[in-house]
Amino acid sequence: MTMKGKTVIVTGGTSGIGKALAFEFGSKGANILITGRNQQRLDEVIQEFSGKGIRLRGIQADVSQEADNQRMVDAALQHFGCIDILINNAGMSMRALFEEVDLKVLHTLMNVNFWGTVYATKYALPHIIQQKGSVIGISSIAGYRGLPARAGYSASKFAMQGFLEVLRTEMLPKGVHVLTACPGFTASNIRTTALTKDGNTQGESPRNEGNMMSAEECASHIYKATCKRKKTLILTQQGKLTVFLNKLFPGWMDKMVFNHMAKEEDSPFKKL
């Protein structure tokens, strides 16, 4: 499968995995449209990529707003004439115990991570069907195994994966490829922008980002899985092991996951 001349939308494409995906697909010859809520960051990425020969457009949009997703699709069609691939990447995380969290935090995460995927897919899908293209969801290991202090994040990723599984099945007669990609811990800004129990931004990552898979390596794996039209992609050895063991020993994994996450700096809970 060649990407030359294909049109790829990447939501949340101004940093982290989204930016790396825009570069990975763009460097292979695809036309790229990215979204982001911050116009300054959009302009910076556009300027950076223009010097690398990548054909890229940016649109200021919030995936949690239905109308913004329709504008995004209209912009892609206006600039490039078609849509081959939609990468639902925009996402947010959190860190707070459920018993302490303000429910507005869970609403925010569901609106961005789940409804953002639903809205973008709804408006892009008719055009992707015409191209027999791809819908990709950047989910998480948290979509297979609920993580303590991430109730809203895990719930939104479980919901995303259920939605994409339904879509993959429904699209079988139409030749549309649907990929659910689940990175393990990947170096990005998602932990620095994670929401606390009151809905404020965490500000600093509680984990050692230097020991994680890079966003660029993650994007390379997702690109290859898209070309091979794979259905699922689970990244990192830790991620694969977590998913495997959780199927076999869910009770034991409750304790293992609890103790692992409790090691984080300023963890809201202590080890058992």
Task: Report how far residue 101's alpha carbon sits from residue 94's, in angstroms, rounded to the nearest whole number.
Answer: 10
Residue entry with tokens 């979509």: 143
Task: Report how far residue 178's alpha carbon sits from residue 253's, in angstroms, rounded to the nearest whole number.
Answer: 29
Residue 189: both structure tokens together: 């800004």
In this structure, what DSSP letter does residue 172 have? Answer: G
- The torsion defined by the Cα of 225, 231, 237 and 240, in degrees rounded to 10, comes to 180
Q: In this structure, are residues 147 and 153 in contact, taking their beta carbons and an 8 Å threshold?
A: yes
Residues taking part in catalysis: 153
Closest C-alpha among 74, 160, 154, 80 to residue 115 = 160
Distances (CA, A) of 183 to 50, 111, 177, 243: 28, 21, 19, 12
Residue 133: both structure tokens together: 């293209």
**Stated length of the chain:** 272
Residue 102: both structure tokens together: 């303000």
